[in-house]
Amino acid sequence: MSEDFLPIKGYDHVEFYVGNAKQAAHFYDKTFGFTPVAKRGLETGCRDRASYVLQQGKIRLVFTSAYSPDSEISRHCGLHGDGVKAMAVEVSDVEAALTAAKQRGGTVLKPATVEKDDGGSYVTGELKYAGDTVFRFVDRGNYKGCFAPGFEPIDAHGSEGVGLASIDHIVTNVHLGEMDFWAKWYAEVLGFRNLAHFTEKDISTEYSALMSKVMENGTGKVKFPINEPAEGKRKSQIEEYLDYYQGPGVQHVAMTTGNIYDTVTELRNRNIDFLRVPDTYYEYMMDRVGDVGEDWSRLKELGILLDKDDDGYLLQIFTQPMQDRPTLFYEVIERHGSNGFGIGNFKALFVSIEEEQKRRGNL
Ligand code: FE2
């Protein structure tokens, strides 16, 4: 069933619509250590929007703002706050990808569009995805420029990186009852397979619950989990997200590192706030997981979580939301054999998230 009719090379970029792209770019440079590499805007002849491209390892983030209030970008920001507009993956043939997706029930929002400049030709196309988010295909096989036609390189050195290497997965939150619809969309429209399925039995606290399905492409290079809230005594963190984002959208982007101790130490030095689990978590986990060669006292000091399965283990940590609205956040992950998502940590994490929800008056 998972015949790969739509070969995906990997993540290409994530584009955010934000209120002030210049400041967002500065923030991701100074805190997360992304290097500004390209820009478009009035100075480059782009009259309706400004975009900044930042890179670290293989991760490319694009921050875009509008110059006018009657722009789709301004409307998006007004409704959702700063958030992810497009999840972009690289393919070798955008036209073929869109055609295959359309035949299988996908909705094409932007047909294959070729843009050219001195760097060559760059092709994009878009499918409708959950809420106002789009799923973008990019073919940069014949493009040698800095990011895309219309962009100019930024001659800035940027801050020192923090060791972030690649995107591991991108998670979407949807309304109750919609998870299966989007899981089916990935399976039927894009030919993905279901890698994991978590029910409210796996992911629940005394107060709230959620369900999750993880979809991945044929090569396993891209993974897109989908969450929906489940019935609970109180408001789940997914419902809180949906309320503040005014609908479905990207909940978190997980980024890999080769040394999570160094990455998290540096991020903490740069004032990035992370979720904290109670100290008892570490005593419990030491008993449960045993010696895997990690330094438990350093994990505890930095607030890094560990989970183990049959294939190996992983280390992970989650930031607080990156905006005033409790919407998008990040995960930093270091994998040692495990292809999981940290299910053993879900309960401790969600109790910790509920503490934060309580502080916001949203539990
Ligand atoms: Fe995650």
| pLDDT tens-digit series, residues 249-268 | 999 999 999 999 999 999 99
**pLDDT given at position 3:** 57
**pLDDT given at position 5:** 83
**pLDDT given at position 283:** 87
Tokens read off for 260 = 């999570």
**331: CA distance to ligand 1 center in Å?**
6
Question: Contact, 198 vs 347, CB < 8 A?
Answer: no
**42: CA distance to ligand 1 center in Å?**
37
**120: CA distance to ligand 1 center in Å?**
36
Tell me which residue of 115, 162, 102, 166 sits closest to 142, measured CA to CA.
115
Asked if the domains 2-153 and 164-360 are classified in one and the same CATH topology, the answer is yes
Question: Contact, 20 vs 89, CB < 8 A?
Answer: no
> Model pTM?
0.96
Amino acid residing at 65: S
Spell out, as residue ranges, where the chain has pLDDT lower than 50: 1-2
Output the CATH code of domain 2-153: 3.10.180.10
Q: Where are the domains of the chain?
A: 2-153, 164-360
Contacts of 261 (CB under 8 A, 6+ apart): 295, 298, 302, 304
CA distance 32 to 26: 10
**pLDDT given at position 1:** 44
164-360: CATH class = alpha beta
**96: CA distance to ligand 1 center in Å?**
30
Q: In what order do the strands lie in the sheet with 223-230?
A: 193-198, 209-216, 223-230, 164-173, 249-257, 329-336, 312-318, 305-309
pLDDT digits 0-9 by tens, 20-50:
999 999 999 999 999 999 999 999 999 999 9
**pLDDT given at position 314:** 97
**40: CA distance to ligand 1 center in Å?**
31
CA distance 310 to 226: 23
Instruction: Report the Cα 296 to chain-centroid distance in Å.
Output: 28
**pLDDT given at position 2:** 45
